[in-house]
Amino acid sequence: MARTDRFRQQHNELLALATELQSLLNETALSHDGTAARACLGKLMGKLTMHLSTEDKVLYPELEAHKDPAVAALARRFASEMKSTTAAVVAYNGRWATPTAIKENAHAFVKETKDVIGILADRIKRENQELYAAADRSEGGAF
């Protein structure tokens, strides 16, 4: 079992929720009712918040203190990048905090949601291929 299996499983769950949300991005339907999209977005944000908290408390501190300077630098870079990504996602979630907000500007919601899903999917891919791969190769206990 790889050290990062739990984090990778969370990534799979996040991608499944993102796919579900993407399936709801019909501008016409959203302009009538944003309830389902808001509910799905709420689930996605809840799971993302939990995942980020676990990374911040467990994964990043261990990797940033790693004896291999390359692993430590990689972890610091990923942690730093995530701060701006997190801020953008929090702002996005705040703009679309209610089904009414989604309904009243379905076009903007669809565009922003596609952008955010793309950013999250890219980040997950990079974490899996770079950061988690380095963590799995490194010495130490399970996260």
Q: What is the pLDDT of residue 139?
A: 67
Decide if 108 is inside a domain.
Answer: yes
Rounded average pLDDT over 68-84: 94
- Specify the CATH number for the domain of residue 23: 1.20.120.520
Look at the chain and report how many structural domains it folds into: 1
30 within a domain of the structure (yes/no): yes
Domain residues for the domain of 73 are 5-137
**What pTM value is reported for the model?**
0.93
Kindly state whether residue 143 falls inside one of the protein's structural domains.
no
34: tokens are: 């944003």
**Nearest-CA neighbor of 74 among 130, 7, 137?**
130
Confidence class of residue 50 from pLDDT cuts 50, 70 and 90? very high
pLDDT of residue 1: 77
Q: Residue 2's pLDDT is what?
A: 86
| Whole-angstrom distance, CA of residue 44 vs CA of residue 99 | 15
